[in-house]
Amino acid sequence: MSSHPLHTLGFEPVVTSLTDLGFEPQLRPGTKEPTSGRKIVQPTGNPAINQALATEAMAAYKARLAELIRQIPGATLAATRDAKNPHRLQEKINQEGQPAETVSDYGAAQIAVDSPQAKNAVVAAVRRHFTVLREQDNFALGDGEYRYRSDSLQLQMPNGASEELQIVPRQVLAANRQEHHDYKKARNAELAGRSAPAAVAAARALNDSAMERFNSKNGIAKGTVAKGSRVRLADGTVARVVYVDPNMRIARVRTEDGRNITVRHKDLRS
């Protein structure tokens, strides 16, 4: 018989903490993994243990999310996943340079929202009830490669694991199944050392079109520049608007690395 603790447990009963496996966490979430420079968000470098802990925490996590958003108009718990596909997990670790302790989505949930106000209300509620290890807010602009819109938060669980939460415009989530086909083609090509520009362009177009529908429904005109909004500069840099002069059509923005820049409205993508 294998001496590995998870084999001994046979995953029954479920793992409730690392101490049940006979040791304390050796990693500190929130610090950087020295080789990759990525943020540590899981308690061990063992993917099987991280997965067992994340799966065990999911039932309470889903129940808490559902309760938090119950009174928020325009927000619904749209999808959850108790465990990551093992093949995809190994791809991340072995081919994409993501050490096991830095993988975010052993367990994951998506909340669909109908408006920016609903998104902000969800974020506020989540921050009141969870410790947030990391946040990547690509809700307005999308990520730099595929322009998939989400505000992604990494949330600490009581048993030491952490779970991913994506807050997604409802129209973007509706288009995600079709977009994911192109995203997967592009990702597989990249893993094989090739490029797939047509698949990347198709994924971007689907995400941009879905976000345009979201913005239209919320009365947000294309190209609107407002104080507090996140924008992308012509070189791809992400920044937040701190001042707008509507008459001169210029804005002052602060980049994520702390620079203050004055730019023309036409040079921003909001």
User: Tens place of pLDDT for every residue, the chain, 270 residues?
Assistant: 344 444 443 434 444 555 565 554 557 777 888 888 899 999 999 999 999 999 999 999 999 999 999 999 999 999 999 999 999 999 999 999 999 999 999 999 999 999 999 999 999 999 999 999 999 998 988 888 888 999 999 999 999 999 999 999 999 999 987 766 666 666 666 666 776 788 888 888 999 999 999 999 999 877 677 676 778 888 888 888 888 876 667 888 888 888 989 888 777 765
Instruction: Give domain status of residue 109, yes or no.
Output: yes
Instruction: Give domain status of residue 203, yes or no.
Output: yes
Domain match, 17 and 119 both: yes
Domain match, 89 and 45 both: yes
Query: Tokens representing 38?
Result: 């990525």
pLDDT of residue 11: 39
Distance CA 133, CA 154 (A): 5
Query: Tokens representing 61?
Result: 């996590």
Instruction: Give domain status of residue 82, yes or no.
Output: yes
Distance CA 181, CA 200 (A): 10
Q: How many residues are there in the chain?
A: 270
Domain match, 153 and 56 both: yes
Kindly calculate the radius of gyration of the chain based on its CA atoms and give it in whole angstroms: 20
Domain match, 246 and 134 both: no
Domains in the chain, number: 3
Distance CA 138, CA 147 (A): 8
Domain that holds residue 241: 230-267
- The answer to whether residues 62 and 81 touch, using CB atoms and an 8 Å cutoff, is no
Residues forming a β-bridge with 244: 251
User: Kind of pairing, strands 230-232 and 162-169?
Assistant: unpaired
Domain match, 100 and 193 both: no
Among candidate residues 154, 3, 130, 19, the one with its CA nearest the CA of residue 69: 130
Give the three-class secondary structure for 25.
coil
- The answer to whether residues 222 and 233 touch, using CB atoms and an 8 Å cutoff, is no
Instruction: Give domain status of residue 38, yes or no.
Output: yes
Instruction: Give domain status of residue 225, yes or no.
Output: no
Query: Tokens representing 93?
Result: 């670790």
Single pTM value for the model: 0.78
DSSP 231: E
We report the CATH number of the domain holding residue 44 as: 3.30.460.10
Domain match, 198 and 234 both: no
Among candidate residues 19, 46, 26, 53, the one with its CA nearest the CA of residue 157: 53
Domain match, 106 and 188 both: no
Query: Tokens representing 32?
Result: 């950087």
Distance CA 46, CA 231 (A): 38
- Region class of 173: left (phi > 0), else alpha (psi between -120 and 50), else beta: alpha
Residues forming a β-bridge with 112: 76, 168
Domain match, 21 and 79 both: yes
pLDDT of residue 154: 97
Domain match, 62 and 146 both: yes
Q: What is the Cα 228 distance to its own chain's centre?
A: 21
Domain match, 165 and 256 both: no
Distance CA 159, CA 161 (A): 6
Domain match, 28 and 51 both: yes
